[in-house]
Structure formats: C-alpha cells, structure tokens
Amino acid sequence: MIPILTTLAPGLIEAGSRLLDRLIPDPAEREKAKLALLQTEGQQALQEMQTSLSAILAEANSADPWTSRARPTFLYVIYGVILLCVLGSILGIWWPAHVFQAAENLNKLLGAVPESLWWLFGAGYLGYTGARSFDKWRGPGR
C-alpha cells in the first residue's frame, strides 16, 4: 500500500492543499493545516525509507553467509570470466592457435548443456531475484 501512496502522494498533497484553500477561510488556520499535511507526507516518506533500510540491514546482518554473499559471489564469477577473456585475447597474440582451440572447446562445452537447463537456470535466477525483491518491497515482518 505504501508504494501506491508514494506514487500518488504529490497529487494527493496538491489536491489536499486546494481543498484546504476552499474549506478553511482563515489564512493562519489554512497554513497550519497545510503544514500538517506536508509533515504527514514527510513522515510517510521517512517510514518508507526506514522499511527499505531495515530490509537491507537484515540481509547484511544475516548469519547465513549466502544471504549476504550470493549476488556478490555471482558477480565475482562474472568478473573472473571477463578477466579471463581479456587475458585470453592478450595471450592470443603469441599463441593464437591455442587460444582459438580453447575458445572452440569452451563453446562446445557450453553448447553441450541442454537448452532446457539454460532456461531452468534463467527461470530459477529470475525467480529468486524476483522473490527477494518482493520480500524487500513488502518489508520485514509482513
């Protein structure tokens, strides 16, 4: 519910401000009501930020090492692959046949994995990240 209110908040605040202009004739009272409306908006934004930060902190402080290290580990593996590709291209200056053969072997090895397993990996990874994002959006304890 909070993301919906956050999206609608600027329009609601403006509409509420215009409504207060019509309903409260006294300028001092009207300004006091507008200030209360803006304070409510600020408190709502602060509460949403605290909820997001608490989910991030809960993940970082988790006793399970994979909770806080799964994504960085995956990125380190990808960085390693990129580094190996760069090193392979440099080694290809002196040993082009060997580098070409290694690339050919890697292509055959990855091509030997059935396509359904690649789809399963992709669906599982996207499902995992989607579920984690939903849990963070929903907030802790809900």
Rounded-to-integer distance, Cα 11 and Cα 19, Å: 12
Give the pLDDT score at 1: 44
The verdict on residue 105 lying in a domain is yes
Same domain (yes/no): 108, 135 = yes
Give the pLDDT score at 141: 59
CA distances from 74 to 18, 70, 88, 125 (A): 51, 6, 21, 11
Work out how many domains the chain is built from and give that number.
3
Q: In the chain, which residues have pLDDT < 70?
A: 1-13, 16-18, 20-23, 30, 60, 65-71, 140-142
| Contact yes or no for 3/45 (Cβ under 8 A) | no
Among candidate residues 31, 40, 32, 49, the one with its CA nearest the CA of residue 13: 40
Give the pLDDT score at 67: 65
Domain that holds residue 103: 96-141
Same domain (yes/no): 22, 51 = yes
The verdict on residue 51 lying in a domain is yes
Rounded-to-integer distance, Cα 20 and Cα 6, Å: 21
